[in-house]
């Protein structure tokens, strides 16, 4: 059995394939970001999934693409968790989630050059030169970076609410939708795991109310920051297609399309999640080789 896995900070999609490429089952767990979660929590999230626990000794190969796996230490941590849990696996490959976005959007066999962006709970941007991924900006995580991500928009909403910078009609709706008590917010940010995921939960409110002038201004600001700070790191940004993966890009595609056009950028695919394209890539290029 082969497992193909795409993991963000919020959720993880798992698809099990036979050696011939037939889908055996699909399931979902909470996010498995090794930069913000301990080994114990990572293990617990896998163990508590019935399908994974039931088939843990049937897995021969595991291909994992995850947020937080761009540097060696967290990549090694998640590898050790898998190695311990899937004891019969002969091959475990751990790569950052940028590769999942690449395989889901770009025909790598055609050596297409492209910029690949992730806009979900977090955000990231890479360049594919037709052969390899190039990363100009190494993410420093949700506190310093992640422009236009779910946690970015959640952070801005909370700040504007607490500083009374949200219009009163929208502020009332926001207050009724969430527990915005200071103690609750601080507990989630400083005492609970996944503070980035907690912040991203507020992005749903922004999307549901995106026609409000305040929300439009905030969306435009966040997306513009991402384009200027990330996409334009690459000198040929206007010459290649720019693809997007993630729920924020998917639900804000209209606003994203307008800005990309204003900046003279070529919009490519916009996918909510890369797992389907990722599975097809493995069926085509990996399983039978």
Parallel, antiparallel or unpaired: strands 61-66 and 91-96: parallel
Residue-range domains of the chain with CATH: 2-101+275-285 (3.30.420.40)
- pLDDT for 88: 96
Query: Using CA atoms, how far apart are residues 173 and 169, in angstroms rounded to an integer?
Result: 7
Parallel, antiparallel or unpaired: strands 123-128 and 114-119: antiparallel
Query: Using CA atoms, how far apart are residues 274 and 246, in angstroms rounded to an integer?
Result: 8
CB proximity list for 242: less than 8 A, separation 6 or greater: 114, 115, 117, 231, 260, 265, 266, 267, 268
- pLDDT for 288: 58
Indicate the burial class of 80 (C-beta count within 10 angstroms; 0-12, 13-18, 19 or more): middle
pTM of the entire predicted model: 0.87
- pLDDT for 284: 82
| Average pLDDT along the chain, 289 residues, taken 10 residues at a time | 92 93 94 92 96 96 92 94 96 94 90 94 94 87 91 97 97 97 95 91 97 98 97 97 96 98 97 89 74
Question: 81 is written with which tokens?
Answer: 């968790």
- For helices 150-162 and 213-229, the axis angle rounded to 10 degrees is 130
- pLDDT for 194: 86
């Amino acid at each position: 059995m082969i497992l193909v896995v795409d993991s963000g900070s919020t959720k993880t999609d798992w698809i099990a394939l036979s050696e011939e490429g037939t889908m055996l089952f699909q399931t979902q767990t909470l996010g498995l970001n090794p930069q913000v979660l301990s080994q114990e929590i990572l293990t617990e999230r896998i163990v508590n999934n019935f399908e994974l626990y039931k088939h843990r000794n049937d897995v021969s190969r595991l291909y994992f693409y995850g947020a937080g796996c761009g540097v060696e230490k967290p990549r090694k941590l998640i590898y050790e968790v898998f190695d311990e849990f899937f004891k019969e696996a002969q091959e475990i490959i751990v790569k950052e989630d940028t590769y999942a976005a690449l395989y889901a959007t770009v025909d790598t066999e055609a050596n297409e050059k492209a910029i690949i962006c992730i806009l979900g709970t977090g955000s990231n941007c890479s360049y594919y030169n037709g052969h390899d991924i190039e990363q100009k900006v190494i993410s420093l995580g949700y506190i310093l970076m992640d422009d236009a991500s779910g946690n970015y928009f959640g952070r801005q909403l909370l700040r504007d609410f607490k500083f009374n910078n949200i219009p009163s009609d929208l502020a009332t709706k926001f207050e009724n939708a969430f527990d915005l008590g200071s103690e609750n917010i601080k507990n989630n940010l400083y005492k609970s795991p996944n503070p980035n995921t907690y912040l991203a939960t507020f992005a749903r409110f922004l999307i549901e109310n995106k026609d409000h002038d305040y929300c439009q201004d905030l969306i435009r600001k966040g997306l513009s920051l991402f384009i200027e700070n990330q996409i334009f790191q690459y000198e040929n940004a206007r010459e290649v297609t720019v693809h997007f993966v993630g729920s924020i890009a998917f639900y804000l595609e209209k606003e994203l399309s307008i800005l990309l056009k204003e900046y003279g950028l070529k919009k490519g695919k916009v996918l909510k999640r890369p797992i389907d394209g990722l599975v097809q890539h493995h069926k085509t290029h990996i399983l039978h080789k």
